[in-house]
Amino acid sequence: MNALDLAIKKLMQDATRDLILPRYRNLAAGEIIEKAADDLVTVADREAEAMLAEGLAAIDPSLAIVGEEAAHADPALLDRLAGDCWIIDPIDGTHNFAQGQPPFGILIARAEGGLCQSGWIYDCLTGRFCLAHRGAGAFVDGERIRARTTGQQPPVAAISVIFLDEARRKAMKRHIAPHYSLVDTPRCAAEQYPRLALGENDVSFFERTLAWDHAAGTLWLNEAGGEIARGDGRPYRVDEWDQPGLIGAASPALWDDLAERLATLS
């Protein structure tokens, strides 16, 4: 790991130790707020984001900062995603965290001109630290990794239907599900992306593609030799966060298969 990676890791560890874990299974009712239907925020999210933003500004003050909670309060901040910026998800998997269950983690990305250039994924409970820099491979706890499949037939698919409309949900279950062994999603991108590269899941489909959820993970999975892209093969851009649909897979062949099947639903 280089000096930047070490600084980011320490920042994530400090936020976890000082602000996140002290409130794990220790949140008062008033410290959990529903921002929208099935979308929670806690006091720990907000405090951790403030700490992470301050730390990232100290590391490189030339970059704008786009944090999930700050952008929720002021959507104009989303315009910064088209430029050079830090992107922060202070607690990815807030629903799990608020329920007092794993998994949850921290996601930080650095983007330039709409494309993620570096990404860091930290599991707050296990300390697993994933990182990637564009063109330099993907790493887990300092060890370079290559994406591997589960080897199972049918392939293992983690497909969330939470944000699909009813017609598309039914079509997904009718035309896609029979070709895969379905498993629950962890409701946490900081966990789902590692599952796709580390032999636990083969494919996944994401309907909602917010930048703080997907910037770091998309870069990391592609750098590991898996594949994640829009259904038409276009790469994920952080400034196109409002466009639906993202397919991830442990291998290009598995990606092609799921993309072809999903295309028939359009």
Question: Of 85, 113, 145, which marks where a domain is finished?
Answer: 145
Q: Are residues 141 and 164 in the same domain?
A: no
**pLDDT of 161:** 66
Q: Are residues 35 and 165 in the same domain?
A: no
Q: Are residues 19 and 141 in the same domain?
A: yes
CA distance 191 to 93: 9
Q: Domain for residue 116, yes or no?
A: yes
CATH number at residue 237: 3.40.190.80
Q: pLDDT per residue over 159-192, tens digit each? A: 876 666 777 778 777 888 889 998 889 999 999 9
Q: pLDDT per residue over 34-49, tens digit each? A: 877 667 889 999 999 9
Residue 266 has pLDDT above 70, yes or no: no
Domain range holding 129?
3-145
Give 201's pLDDT tier (boundaries 50, 70, 90).
very high
Q: Domain for residue 150, yes or no?
A: no
**pLDDT of 169:** 73
**pLDDT of 92:** 97
Q: Are residues 55 and 105 in the same domain?
A: yes
Mean pLDDT value across residues 62-66: 98
Number of domains, the chain: 2
CA distance 251 to 203: 9
